[in-house]
Structure 1
Amino acid sequence: MAERPLRIEAAPQRLTLDLTKTAIIVVDMQNDFCHPEGWLGHIGVDVTPARAPIPHLAKLLPALRKADVPVLWLNWGNRPDRLNLPPKLLHVYKPTGIGTGIGDPLPGSGAHVLEDGSWSAAVVDELAPEPGDIHVAKFRMSGFWDTELDSILRNLAVTTLLFAGVNVDQCVLGTLLDASCLGYDCILLEDCSATTSPDYCFAATVYNVKQCFGFVAQSSEFLTEAAAS
């Protein structure tokens, strides 16, 4: 396949990437994390920051699809029986045994928290996936552990990964770190990422990605350069 180079401004330096070897991984833009009636909203977390990437992704993803860049949705979606989860992971989100933890039904909707196939694990309506998109369920902070993500990317002959989603300091960063260790070139899309953590967590993540693990860019760079190419 002929190369399709795209030059973009990024930090710490300008990049030239090959669109034929590029994919975007959108992490956890799902109802439990981004919808006011999802799990985080139910336990009192303000999900407003987690919704910030939605308008940027709504513009970027159609342009990437038009350029034949694979779109991968990496959502937290556990087995209904939760047998693939260690006890410590269940405990940390329900330490007293009281409340709504992983796999429990949400009051109102009855959707099971972070369960594959449930409303809770579905992508928010504003970013409705297209038929050609690829879905991968994850069960840890990193999407590479105990999943088929790496195999899919290898079969797609992808070497460059764009990262977006929430929480940027947790699941996005965890997946990006593993991708970097596996030899992928990683680009964090800053305006397409967010966190409900304190602002310094976002700042530290951006700093460390630029310093050690890859590059940081804005989605507008892709939109501008793709339109001009």
Structure 2
Amino acid sequence: MPLSVKLDPRDVGLLVVDMQNGFCHPEGSRGQAFGADAVKNPQDIIPNVTKTIDLAHRLDIPVWFTQQVHYDDDVLRSRRRIPSHLERRGVKLELCRRGTWDAELLDEMKAIKEDRDEVVVKHRSSAFFQTTLEVELRMKDVQVLVVLGTTTSFCVDSTIRDAYARDFDVVVPAECVADSDDAAHAATLASIERFHGVVTDLPGLTAALDG
């Protein structure tokens, strides 16, 4: 899936969404609640994500990691009248609680993260919702946002929609995003390609940046 445009690395930022123990590690809260299959796809993309981060570092493209953090005393969640997507499945998931191993970035992300990279702590699905991400992107003069990570149909999708609404160009290398639901993953990629950005692959992204 080659890109039809050449990308100038000076215009580009890389956003790595929620590559955390709770979402991706077999011993994290999602893996414990739903089994190893629930984290297989996020586990499978780790090598592609690290390759893309390596590429960004080599080309001096700024990198952001998001870190989802939930509070035990989040009164906003307790006020909701409609059950959450997890409650509707009969699951109580203590996901990415503040100060826990579950909320930490995967060891593979910690190993590749450099001091110049940023971490955006978020409390809801979109990396833009009440965070400093937008102003940080503007300060770095980012126009094209390359988005990686999990979960394709929720946090990745929410972030991409918000990026599009803020007039960023969005690029998604398909083998660098993952979902526990293959159908939802495919449908979201189709929606991104139709409305909110372009879907490519890692060779296509590399050629567009470094060709």
What TM-score results when the alignment is normalised by the length of structure 1? 0.80
Kindly, what percent of the aligned residue pairs are identical?
A: 28
Q: Which structure has the higher relative contact order (CA within 8 Å, separation 6+)? A: 2
**What's the counterpart of residue 174 of structure 2?**
190
**What's the counterpart of residue 24 of structure 2?**
34
Alignment-mate amino acid for residue 56 of structure 2: L
Are residue 19 (structure 1) and residue 9 (structure 2) matched? yes
Q: Which has the larger share of helix?
A: 2
Contact 1:137–1:147 (CA<8 Å) still a contact in 2?
A: yes
What TM-score results when the alignment is normalised by the length of structure 2? 0.87
Q: Which whole-Å CA distance do the structure 2 matches of 1:21 and 1:134 have between them?
A: 17
The unaligned stretches of length 5 or more in structure 1 are: 1-7, 103-112
Alignment-mate amino acid for residue 204 of structure 1: A
RMSD of aligned C-alpha atoms? 2.5
Structure 1 residue 99: Cα displacement: 6.9
Structure 1 residue 118: Cα displacement: 2.6
**What's the counterpart of residue 5 of structure 1?**
none
Q: Which whole-Å CA distance do the structure 2 matches of 1:137 and 1:149 have between them?
A: 9
What SS does the corresponding residue of 1:170 show, helix, strand or coil? helix
- The alignment covers a number of residue pairs equal to 206
**What's the counterpart of residue 220 of structure 1?**
203
Are residue 58 (structure 1) and residue 50 (structure 2) matched? yes
Q: Which whole-Å CA distance do the structure 2 matches of 1:186 and 1:115 have between them?
A: 29
Alignment-mate amino acid for residue 2 of structure 2: E
What SS does the corresponding residue of 1:212 show, helix, strand or coil? helix
Q: Larger Rg: 1 or 2?
A: 1
Q: Which whole-Å CA distance do the structure 1 matches of 2:201 and 2:161 have between them?
A: 19
What SS does the corresponding residue of 1:187 show, helix, strand or coil? strand
Deviation readout 1:140-164 (Å, 9 max, x if unpaired): 1211111111111111111110011
Alignment-mate amino acid for residue 161 of structure 2: L
Structure 1 residue 221: Cα displacement: 2.5
